[in-house]
Amino acid sequence: MFGMPSEMGPTGLDPSMGLLAGYLLGVLGGLNLLALGLGFITLPVFFILLYAVEQVSLAISNATGWFPAKLVLYMFRGLRRSPLRTSLTYIALFVLTLVLSMIYSVLVFIGRVTTEKEADFKAITTHKTIIPSQMPRAHYEQFKRELAKLPDGMRPKNGEADLMAWSFFLGTTDPISKRPDSNVFAFCIEPRKILTMMDGLDDLTGKEKADLDAAVAEMERDKQAIVMSKMRMKKMNLQVGQTIKVTGLNYTDLVFDLRIIGELPDGKYDNISFINSAYLFSQLDAWKLNNPKNRTSEPHPMDAKCINLIWVRLPNKEAFERLAAAVNDTGNFSNPQIKLETASSGFGTFLEAFKDILFGMKYLMAPAMVAIMCLVIANAISIGVRERRTEMAVLKVLGFQPRHVLFLVVGEAVLVGLMAGFMSTLIAFKMIGNLKLQIAFFGAFFVPGEVLLYGPMLGAFVAVAGSIAPALNAKNVKVAEVFSKVA
Amino acid sequence: MARALVQVRDLVKSFTRGTERIDVLQKLTLDVGQAEFLALMGPSGSGKTTLLNLIAGLDQPTSGKISVGENVISEMSESELARWRTRHVGFIFQFYYLLPVLTAYENVELPLLLLALTKEQRRKQVTTALDLVGLADRMDHRPGQLSGGQQQRVGIARAMVTDPELIVADEPTGDLDTKSADEILKLMEILRAQLGKTIIMVTHDPKAASRAQRILHLEKGQLVLDTAAGV
């Protein structure tokens, strides 16, 4: 993303386009199967829950004798009468609400990262035209000078702390047989910026903050220090205190001796490491001066390409516009030319490639799923109504009004919809949300809390939409016709 | 005959099948007295069940007038009829039609839910009804746990629990063995004799019909014979 070389990545996979496309389509397809499996697995829980709620309903109706409470009780009894049909209805609604909860979560996630902030927002500088973005170190220094030229009120509030450059580094501890699990992917960065500019690390508290503070101090003292994510260390069977020799893959011919001095908390930076950028630059300089293969003292091929991104936190839009004009000025940055975007605009530009997929998810797939599920529910409820036509007629004979019959039929579907929606979104929220899946470099994917409300509402809505036609059919059942056919 | 509870005048009921009009009941006139046990007999298609449905307010006539007590039910709307049925008519079906997911108690309680009664009043009426049919000890059983005869007794309890003046029964013994049928007919006689209920029963069974006070024979939608039972 934003110029990260396609061969780079924490696991050796394509980390940008391929990753996002994989998550949006592959995960979405797999999610249907997963939801189906989870629907089957949770069936016993559903029936236990159904029974438990029925007992509550029974207690209420016994205590109050209230007619609506009795009707609700009869709905629960009705659901238990045909376990197969109830199960299939539950699974259909479970799959629907789970998948749509995930689609909603993805859209919320994307909306969040592409929403423009008005003040104190981050902007990104990248190569103007080429992906992957690669710039020389001199650009970073020039960028600092341009920042300093901004008038008061437009310069970053925290000075240097609001500025950082990333150099992506991919190496391996096993240069002979390169494998994904021996790869080290790191951001080479000025250590202090980890505490001020990295989302999710700039707001740690308690022991995690104290540990990271200590690790940053150690990185500043020892430029060969590396901080790795817990997940990566576990995968590579490494521990804090160990030293590793990492051979560069994108920085060929460079070998890094690194000492693991700390670990990153679980979550957003799983599989990622931080190295002091000063070590990378010194390695590049050493290659130029000391490499025996390099008799003409040519710089390393990556020397003029070792800055991938420059981040800056700006106080307001005016500052952004002024700085963007300076960045666009070819007198300042000519080889290569670069551009400045807000972070959200940058994400938006990146997501532009996926706009058709996102459009399809939002306006085609989601409504199509709702429509299909309505038909599935309508079919299931219709069969139930047909089987219980005589029963509905008996209720009417006894004096039940057509609206009571309608309420009973729709109510049964709504109960299943609410419970399936609740269970699926609870699973989405608790299980899938906790997986902390990472979509490219947007950070850990999360399931927003509001799905716990929207899921059951969606389940209930689909249940009403699907059951209304058969319920109207049941409501309008002609008693005399039913009994004349029976007789 | 005692004062008429049910009055049927010039009753016509027609159905249309395709382009063909079928007159099921043709200008039928009938009175059924208070606390009378009437049996309706006749061959299949003679209009027995149609007549029963019309008297019970389950269907509306093509023309003619039906009165039950003070109410002219042939002029009522569907929802008025539903309300009227709850309070004034009890139904006994050949196949019982108990709701399988409800206990005997809950089945009998069903019509009472539509009336403005307290929980205690409902309990008292349900217990009394089940007591009368001899099933007070089975009130927590589901229909599937009861024999056919017991299910029909629950059906009778449900029919009388709202204390209606009219009870209609469509082949109430048609699905029962001789012994159970006899018990059900005895119960119906008790309902008439002791509780003063008017009972109209459709049956094919001459033995069952003989338990009624009066037997009406229908053929092709018309009354062809009106006899006292045993005649």
Give CA–CA dist A339/A324, Å, rounded: 7
B133 close to B184: Cβ distance less than 8 angstroms: no
How far apart are the CA of B113 and the nearest CA of chain A, in angstroms?
A: 6
User: What pLDDT shows up at residue B36?
Assistant: 94
How far apart are the CA of B1 and the nearest CA of chain A, in angstroms?
A: 29
Inter-chain touch A398–B100, beta carbons under 8 Å = no
Query: Is pLDDT at A8 greater than 50 in this prediction?
Result: no
Higher per-residue pLDDT: A277 or A317: A277
Q: What is the DSSP code string of A23-82?
A: IIIIIHHHHHHHHHHHHHHTHHHHHHHHHHHHHHHHHHHHHH--HHHHHHHHHHHHHHH-
Tens digits of residue pLDDT in A216-258: 999 999 999 999 998 889 989 999 999 999 999 999 889 999 9
Tens digits of residue pLDDT in B1-16: 567 899 999 999 998 8
In 10 A of CB B43, how many CB atoms? 11
Give CA–CA dist A484/A400, Å, rounded: 20
User: What pLDDT shows up at residue A22?
Assistant: 64
Query: Is pLDDT at A290 greater than 50 in this prediction?
Result: yes
User: What pLDDT shows up at residue A483?
Assistant: 73
Tens digits of residue pLDDT in B134-155: 999 999 999 999 999 999 999 9
Inter-chain touch A487–B78, beta carbons under 8 Å = no
Query: Is pLDDT at A300 greater than 60 in this prediction?
Result: yes
Inter-chain touch A398–B94, beta carbons under 8 Å = no
Q: Tell me the one-letter amino acid at B122.
A: R
Average pLDDT for chain B: 90
**B84: nearest CA partner in chain A:** A399
Radius of gyration in angstroms for the set of CA atoms belonging to chain A, rounded to a whole number:
30
The A residues from 229 to 288 touching B (CB cutoff 8 Å) are none
Least confident interval from A168-182, A355-369, A457-471: A355-369
How far apart are the CA of A400 and the nearest CA of chain B, in angstroms?
A: 7
Is the CA virtual torsion A60, A64, A69, A70 positive or negative?
A: positive
User: What pLDDT shows up at residue B21?
Assistant: 86
Give CA–CA dist A105/A475, Å, rounded: 38
A:B CB pairs within 8 Å: 71
In 10 A of CB A411, how many CB atoms? 22
Higher per-residue pLDDT: A133 or A361: A133
**B164: nearest CA partner in chain A:** A398
Inter-chain touch A480–B59, beta carbons under 8 Å = yes
Higher per-residue pLDDT: A402 or A31: A402
Which of B59, B82, B101 has the CB atom closest to A400's CB atom?
B82
Query: Is pLDDT at A396 greater than 50 in this prediction?
Result: yes
How far apart are the CA of A78 and the nearest CA of chain B, in angstroms?
A: 7
Chain B CB contacts of A485 under 8 Å are none
Q: What is the CATH number of domain B4-228?
A: 3.40.50.300
Tens digits of residue pLDDT in B15-74: 888 888 888 898 999 999 999 999 999 998 888 989 999 999 998 999 999 999 989 999
Of the candidates B28, B48, B81, B8, the one whose C-alpha atom is nearest the C-alpha of residue B169 is B48
Which of A65, A78, A399 has the CB atom closest to B86's CB atom?
A399
User: What pLDDT shows up at residue A445?
Assistant: 64
Query: Is pLDDT at A487 greater than 70 in this prediction?
Result: no
User: What pLDDT shows up at residue A472?
Assistant: 94
Higher per-residue pLDDT: A431 or B40: B40
Q: What is the DSSP code string of B123-147?
A: HHHHHHHHHHTT-GGGTT--GGGS-
How far apart are the CA of A85 and the nearest CA of chain B, in angstroms?
A: 16
Mean pLDDT over residues B183-201, rounded? Answer: 92
% of chain A residues with pLDDT over 90: 33
For an interface test with A, give the residue of B48, B49, B55, B99 to mutate (most A CBs within 10 A): B99
% of chain A residues with pLDDT over 70: 87
Domain boundaries, chain B: 4-228
- What is the four-CA torsion angle of A107, A112, A113, A117, rounded to 10 degrees? 150
The B residues from 55 to 114 touching A (CB cutoff 8 Å) are 56, 58-59, 78-79, 82-83, 85-87, 91, 93-95, 97, 99-102, 110-111, 113-114
Of the candidates B189, B188, B182, B119, the one whose C-alpha atom is nearest the C-alpha of residue B157 is B188
A86 close to A94: Cβ distance less than 8 angstroms: no
In 10 A of CB B229, how many CB atoms? 15
Query: Is pLDDT at A11 greater than 60 in this prediction?
Result: no
DSSP code, position A330:
T
Mean pLDDT over residues B165-180, rounded? Answer: 90
Q: What is the DSSP code string of B52-86?
A: HHHHTTSS--SEEEEEETTEEGGG--HHHHHHHHH
Inter-chain touch B171–A487, beta carbons under 8 Å = yes
Query: Is pLDDT at A5 greater than 60 in this prediction?
Result: no
pLDDT band of residue A68 (cuts 50, 70, 90) is confident
% of chain B residues with pLDDT over 70: 98
User: What pLDDT shows up at residue A27?
Assistant: 66
Give CA–CA dist A79/A412, Å, rounded: 7
B1 close to B19: Cβ distance less than 8 angstroms: no
For an interface test with A, give the residue of B14, B15, B58, B93 to mutate (most A CBs within 10 A): B58
Least confident interval from A442-451, A458-467, B73-82: A442-451
pLDDT band of residue A1 (cuts 50, 70, 90) is very low
Tens digits of residue pLDDT in A192-201: 998 888 877 8
User: What pLDDT shows up at residue A197?
Assistant: 85
Of the candidates A10, A5, A291, the one whose C-alpha atom is nearest the C-alpha of residue A172 is A10
Inter-chain touch A399–B94, beta carbons under 8 Å = no
User: What pLDDT shows up at residue A440?
Assistant: 52
Give CA–CA dist B113/A66, Å, rounded: 8
**B77: nearest CA partner in chain A:** A401
Mean pLDDT over residues B210-226, rounded? Answer: 88
Chain A CB contacts of B158 under 8 Å are 398
pLDDT band of residue B231 (cuts 50, 70, 90) is very low
In 10 A of CB B147, how many CB atoms? 11
Average pLDDT for chain A: 84
